[in-house]
Structure 1
């Protein structure tokens, strides 16, 4: 494999993809529980989400290099493609454009398959899709990246939680169910926990670069408490949802994933100022996928 191909694969940050797919899988399981599942919707949702996540990762590499977050010596994360010189700024920008166009085409195909003839829902979801593309790019890129203002957490909650889960469910079923805000919030909070680990790791470098993430604003100790709140908040939302469903034991299967969340919380507590915390980004992403999969399967089995 050539060096350039390896550089692009590294820039795609494939370890983030399980997290991106978590909301799609959960929304699809919930749709299946209501007899509304469609394979073509799952496939196109997954493809669009993967492209959006890769776009976000490329934009993050591009934006942090421009704004300096990848240049300060205190940065503890893995080397970035632009900062290391493996990919030029111009090539990274071109890669972002290509990925954005592919995500737009995939999203349009998804909406056509889901809605058929043009209708109000099509335009609403088209706006949501454009908003997702804009959010992916402007997190760290652009003149005023919102990630540098500490707004990344709410964006993750919205797009990896509410839009991802409820939107996927609607594309399958063409129905909205308000109770799904609970599992969607649980998914979004766990995704936010992944971002929180990333930001705890980068407190020193982000502070020097002027990136005012939540951990930079709170400090490492309170950022750990915030992390526990995200984890317990997710479990609480899922538990309330399972109780309100009133369908017995199966919807509580997600509790089997709680030990993995506790393990992550304990690790973050112990490694808050240690570069080894980076390993728990992947562990948190996989724990999120396990959590939502067990929740979705449990609801499906409960019928």
Structure 2
């Protein structure tokens, strides 16, 4: 089982549930929360993330990106721990489970919703599965064209947060898109670190990620922009939502400060091995920020 656990990349999973937690926190602060919906949304998102990781492992190897030049964060198919045939089967099985989990979530959350709402969510679910696979699999994977950042921002930020919030409350408001965007920016920050770490090999193999397109130095400037944009979004939320800024709201700095530390520590002179630990650091600190932000919203709603 160890090889499959490694291939699922456990360190990416806390970040995957970030937008789901955020949407649930915001809904709970409005006095609307169903634990069953929260758990099913979390399960579905975890399955989608694992699906993405399996597909990425398979796609990067098939397209020659995971080759002998890759020395950091070696992949399962690349090292022969899992065969291509086994990984293809795992992608299909995980996609099926993600689809079934998503259907159960929609049935529970949209029992009384009109057909157009069902259609919208079903379309988003299918798009999520397709996006997880097509990132690196196929003849023209969009991740190789520098479009992964946009996909991550949408699915792990806006759609994850707003979708969960809607399933809990049957409503949406513009203010919630600020923390949703903050979560999206931090999710993109993890992807960008991954691309900065792999930039040299990606240049050789034609994977045109954002850092490949703009260069390593500007890739780090982009990384710092993502941190600052996320911080701004979280701080702006109470003003946009018409929430009075109290001492409790100011406790947000407890969650923000670890992100500021990342901003200070990262620089363009870092090697791939030095960058790699920051993927986990950014993911865990993003989750911590969301927990702090969520706790504040619940406390100030009492």
TM-score range, shorter chain: over 0.9
SS of corresponding position for 2:21: helix
Whole-angstrom distance in 1 between the partners of 2:252 and 2:125? 29
Counterpart residue number, 1:206 = 202
Shift of 1:274: 4.1
Whole-angstrom distance in 1 between the partners of 2:253 and 2:211? 28
Contiguous gaps of at least 5 residues in structure 2? none
Moved more, 267-276 or 105-114: 267-276
Instruction: Please tell me whether residue 248 in structure 1 is matched to residue 245 in structure 2.
Output: yes
Kindly indicate whether the alpha-carbon contact (under 8 Å) linking 2:23 and 2:163 is maintained by their aligned counterparts in 1.
Answer: yes
Shift of 1:259: 2.1
Whole-angstrom distance in 2 between the partners of 1:269 and 1:108? 44
Q: With the length of structure 1 as denominator, give the TM-score of the two structures.
A: 0.95
Whole-angstrom distance in 2 between the partners of 1:281 and 1:210? 23
1:19-38 equivalent positions in 2, closer than 5 A: 19-38=15-34
SS of corresponding position for 2:25: helix
Shift of 1:116: 1.1
Shift of 1:49: 0.3
Whole-angstrom distance in 2 between the partners of 1:31 and 1:282? 28
1:2-81 equivalent positions in 2, closer than 5 A: 5-73=1-69, 75-81=70-76
Contiguous gaps of at least 5 residues in structure 1? none
Q: With the length of structure 2 as denominator, give the TM-score of the two structures.
A: 0.96
Whole-angstrom distance in 1 between the partners of 2:269 and 2:17? 27
Question: Which runs of at least 4 in structure 1 moved beyond 6 Å after TM superposition?
Answer: none
1:34 and 1:91, CA in 2 relative to 1: closer, same or farther beyond 3 A? same
Whole-angstrom distance in 2 between the partners of 1:44 and 1:271? 42
Whole-angstrom distance in 2 between the partners of 1:271 and 1:17? 28
Counterpart residue number, 2:110 = 115
Residue among 78, 83, 107 paired with 2:78: 83
Give aligned pairs, total: 298
Counterpart residue number, 2:146 = 150
Residues 216-255 of structure 1, C-alpha deviations (whole Å, 9 max, x = no match): 1111111111011000001111111122333223334332
Residue among 124, 129, 144 paired with 1:128: 124
Counterpart residue number, 2:163 = 167
Residues 62-105 of structure 1, C-alpha deviations (whole Å, 9 max, x = no match): 000011111041x2431111010111101100000000000000
Counterpart residue number, 2:293 = 295
Residue among 90, 100, 105 paired with 2:100: 105
SS of corresponding position for 1:167: helix
Counterpart residue number, 1:262 = 260
Whole-angstrom distance in 1 between the partners of 2:214 and 2:288? 29
Residue among 223, 230, 233 paired with 1:234: 230
Counterpart residue number, 1:278 = 276
Whole-angstrom distance in 1 between the partners of 2:227 and 2:22? 17
